[in-house]
Structure 1
Amino acid sequence: MTESTRTEGYEEIIAELTGFLEQRYLPEGESGLQPSSPLLEWGILTSLSTTELISFILERYRVSIPPEKIVGANFKNLDGITRLVVSLRDESADGM
């Protein structure tokens, strides 16, 4: 699989995750999360919202996030979450 194939869908995934988080966890009418926005520091991701995000990822992308991957380094911002989803999706596709 080529590098461009591996990252295919990154922009779409980050846009969908941004929309999900903005709709669910920002005050009505607020938006503007960036790929580098510190989701943990800003309190957007808590234990409950992280669980809901993981459920959304499983439902939307058919990607199960193993417990050992649910760490701050992977969930500190949208870029990290998206890279994790792309990586796990690609691992799953390689295993087929």
Structure 2
Amino acid sequence: MNTDAVTTRLLDFIRVEFLWSDEGREIDASTPLLEWGIIDSLRIALLQSFILNEWDVPVPAALIDAKNFKNASCIAAMICELDKETVR
């Protein structure tokens, strides 16, 4: 799994699903998603569902924290690490 491709797909999802009412707002891989209020507990649940559907990677509750969901790069790194650990 390619981290850059995962990051790009995550950013696309976040822009469409979470920023649709704020079209002028630009985000990139390092944008602080929690700090800027772009994601919250409900949106993290939506991201979990998206991650499972898109990459077949479940995100355990123990990994839902500010470090792993700080920005799109951190989320992508977590997904890629979980993908390595997932037995298929």
Q: TM-score normalised to the size of structure 1?
A: 0.83
4+ residue stretches of structure 1 with deviation over 2 A?
Answer: 27-32
Mapped to 1, the partners of 2:85 and 2:34 lie a distance apart of 26
Gaps of at least 5 residues in structure 2 are: none
TM-score, scaled relative to structure 2: 0.90
Q: Does 1:66 align with 2:51?
A: no
SS of residue matched to 1:53: helix
Query: How many residue pairs align between the two structures?
Result: 87
C-alpha distance in 1 between matches for 2:50 and 2:24: 21
Partner of 1:15: 8
Measured on the aligned residues, the alpha-carbon RMSD in Å equals: 1.4
Structure richer in helix, relative to its length: 1
Structure 1 residue 33, shift from structure 2 partner: 1.3
Q: What is the CA-CA distance between 1:32 and the residue it aligns to?
A: 2.7
2: CA distance, partners of 1:55 / 1:36: 22
| Identity score, percent | 32
- Aligned residues of 1:22 and 1:30 also touching (Cα < 8 A): no
